[in-house]
Amino acid sequence: MSDFFTTNPNAAPSAPQGAADLVKEGTDQGFMADVIEPSKEVPVLVDFWAPWCGPCRQLGPMIENAVRKAGGKVRLVKINIDENPGVAGQLQVKSIPAVFAFRNGQPVDGFMGALPESQINDFIKRLTGDGPDKAEIEALLKRAEESLASGDLGGAAQDFSLAAQSDPENIAPIAGMARVFLAGGEPDKAKELLQHVPEDKKSDPAVQAALTALKLTEEAGDAGEAGELEQKLADNPGDHATRFELANALAGKGDLQGASDQLFHILEAEADWEEGKAKARLLEIFEAAGFASPVAKTGRRRLSTLLFS
């Protein structure tokens, strides 16, 4: 990237930028004057797009509107990569739309894809130092949890990341990102992220939930394929060992509700099977899901009814 981020003697001289220049079209040749130099005064967003890109047409008006609403705290340069592939290539842009934020001449943040306008506004607020307050961070975390539960891993990752950068002392977004990695089939990334949690934060319930979810995923490696296990159970519904293995396989894929249901099936038939093995695993499922999750809240009521009826 050094070719673009050092002084270019052939670059056009930088012009004063008023309100009309908050959003402008850029080129590879003008990158130094339009992005690098102005970013030493205010953050500059670079939106890489192309005329044939549908999501680009969706994102464009929203990000332009958000930049104008910021009232000069941030600027936007739009670069058509069909006509100007140079900087995009240097930044290793693989798909569009791709937005990079520059400050003091260097890329410091960014995102890909057409985000909702609310998330674009949050991104700009974080960049300009007007980030979310405590209540807004809690709302971000709630929205991230809802996205994760619905399978929207991209939306969950965006909100967890925004919450983490807005409140670095809050460990919940880190634990949330670990669970996003697990749900996306990347346990190694989740493990690496959790290994960097400070020792004094590892007892946090959110971290413990993520660690338990990681443990379940790792242990599921020894379980068979869910489809094959379900077929075996169809032939022999009373095979608790196979049902326990199915619960492990489902938990490893992130289907904690499905795993819980299989374990309850064992408990309802034989509460003390294998010296309480199913109950112990069920409690781990509740911890991995999170104390306030529907899986845990409904499951604890169901377990109490089963044990004390």
Has residue 120 got a pLDDT over 80?
yes
pLDDT confidence of residue 131: 62
The answer regarding whether domain 134-204 maps to CATH 1.10.8 reads: no
Per-residue pLDDT for 10 more than 90?
Answer: no
Position 21 scores a pLDDT of: 78
For residue range 95-115, list pLDDT tens digits in order.
999 999 999 999 988 888 888
Side chain identity, residue 273: W
pLDDT in tens, 188-197: 999 999 998 9
In this prediction, what percent of the chain has a pLDDT beyond 70? 91
* pLDDT at residue 309 in the model: 67
Q: Hey, what CATH class is 19-128 in?
A: alpha beta
**Mean confidence (pLDDT) of the chain:** 86
More confident residue, 50 or 151: 50
pLDDT digit string, tens, across residues 177-212: 999 999 888 999 999 999 989 888 888 989 999 999
pLDDT at 12: 35
* Domain ranges within the chain, ordered by starting residue: 19-128, 134-204, 223-308
pLDDT of residue 77: 97
Residue 18 in this model has a pLDDT that exceeds 50: no
Looking at residue 149, its pLDDT comes to: 80
137 or 132, greater pLDDT: 137
Active site residues: 53, 56
pTM across the whole model:
0.56
Where does the pLDDT of residue 132 fall: very low under 50, low under 70, confident under 90, or very high at 90 and above?
low
Q: What class is the 223-308 domain?
A: mainly alpha
Residue 242: per-residue pLDDT: 94
Quick check: 86 pLDDT over 70?
A: yes
pLDDT of residue 223: 60
Contacts of residue 188, defined as CB under 8 A and 6 or more positions apart, other chains included, come to none
Are 260 and 282 in contact by the 8 Å Cβ rule? The answer is yes
**Can 19-128 and 134-204 be said to share one CATH topology?**
no
